[in-house]
Structure 1
Amino acid sequence: MSATTILDQETARRNAQTGMIAILGALAMLGLGYAAVPLYDLFCRVTGFAGTTQVATEAEANAAATAIGTTRDISIRFDASLARDMPWDFRPTQSTDIVRIGQRDIATYVAKNNTDKPITGTATFNVEPWQAGAYFNKIQCFCFTEQTLQPGEEVTMPVLYFIDPAILEDDTIADVEQITLSYTFHRAKEPVETAPDRQKSSSDQAS
């Protein structure tokens, strides 16, 4: 075997090895991309980053309500909006409310389906200033699950929440006078149904 042939084989082997490393690297980056979504969501929920609110239990709400020294009130402003493809009406029943820090309170939003067919929606949410997200705790909320409204149906949807008294110990936000709670309803993706003629064709092939 000539030296040229050996050199060509060595070059081909190295090129194949480099190509394999590149493919594995691309697959690893793709996997990290998918993993980053739930990890980012978890990070936001734990830290309140970007105004992400917290989820609390009844026990945590009771503990907050009995905390010592929580005598301050705070204003909560309620905001509602719709994605462009969402054919609903959506609004809060009141624009603002004054609540006692540490005490649970309830807010309500009204949604109406203006179409002649069922529509399923899902609500995204955040609070402003964003630092308040770490202290805004929801016990119950319509945003926890998808909401399906029948043609012309109108519903009132509650949010049971409290502001963690720990907010008073955070120098970056302790003096805030108002927190805005915002929701945006998006149209949920509808399942793709198999056409009747395709179903029939499949059954005929099976027989």
Structure 2
Amino acid sequence: MRITGKAKTVLFLMACLGVMTGLSAASVPLYRLFCQATGLNGTTQRGTQAPGAINDRVRIDFDANVSPKLPWKFAPELKSDTIDVGARDMAFFTATNLSDHPITGSATYNVTPAQAGKYFTKIQCFCFTQQTLKPGETARMPVIFFVDPKIATDPDTRDVQTITLSYTFYPVDSGKAAS
């Protein structure tokens, strides 16, 4: 059986469609991995242990936001803290469910300036899992982190004196609209 020119074109286009579909399905996880590896757009790193303090300090500003669709109050306990670069540190945020029913939220995060993201490492964070609050419940949520000492030797970040860690809570789609 001989394949005609039109059939070859159709087969070629179908193959291209399959490749493009595969790439689009993989783009989100690949982009996430790329951002985590490079710190692009303020994406922070995940770690298990701080390397130890060096003789350098940086101020961390904490920012908290809530989607208008989520009836929660969310705020950092401290607006800022000055920490030792390389040392393990902890900050707390509080969230209160202002509704009359349980609601699950999920926090997104970023760091500014964006180039500092690859040096900001979280050991433990409430943002790693979804948070469910009962009606009127208030939860105190920790984030354990450190700033990698390499920030002091990178030409793009060695002059960074303040890093802002920002969170935004969104409702988790559970099939019900938040009220």
Letter of the 1:112 counterpart = T
The whole-number CA distance in structure 2 between the counterparts of 1:183 and 1:95 is 13
Structure with the largest fraction of helix: 1
2:131: which partner in 1?
A: 147
1:16 aligns with 2:7: yes
Whether 1:47 and 2:77 are equivalent positions in the alignment is no
Distance 2:21 2:106 in 1: 27
Choose 103-112 or 21-30, whichever is displaced more.
Answer: 21-30
Normalized per residue, which structure has more strand? 2
The match for 1:199 is none
In the other structure, the counterpart of 1:180 is 164
SS where residue 170 of structure 1 aligns? coil
**Alignment-derived partner of residue 161 in structure 1:** 145
Give the C-alpha shift of residue 191 in structure 1.
Answer: 5.3
> Where does 1:46-195 land on structure 2 (aligned, <5 Å)?
46-58=37-49, 61=50, 64-65=51-52, 70-190=54-174
C-alpha distance in structure 2 between counterparts of 1:35 and 1:126, whole Å = 22
Structure 2: runs of 5+ lacking an equivalent: none
Percent identical: 47
Letter in 2 for 1:41: R
Larger Rg: 1
RMSD: 1.6
CA distance in 2, matches of 1:153, 1:23: 54
- After TM superposition, the score normalised by the length of structure 1 is 0.80
Q: Which runs of 5+ in 1 are unaligned?
A: 1-9, 193-207
Q: Matches of 2:17 and 2:67 in 1, distance apart?
A: 34
The alpha carbon displacement at 1:50 in A equals 0.6
The one-character-per-residue Cα deviations of 1:91-111 (angstroms, maximum 9, x if unpaired) are 111111010111111111111
- Where 1:65 maps in the other structure, the secondary structure is coil
CA distance in 1, matches of 2:170, 2:10: 42
What number of residue pairs does the alignment pair up? Answer: 175
Corresponding residue to 1:29 among 20, 39, 44: 20
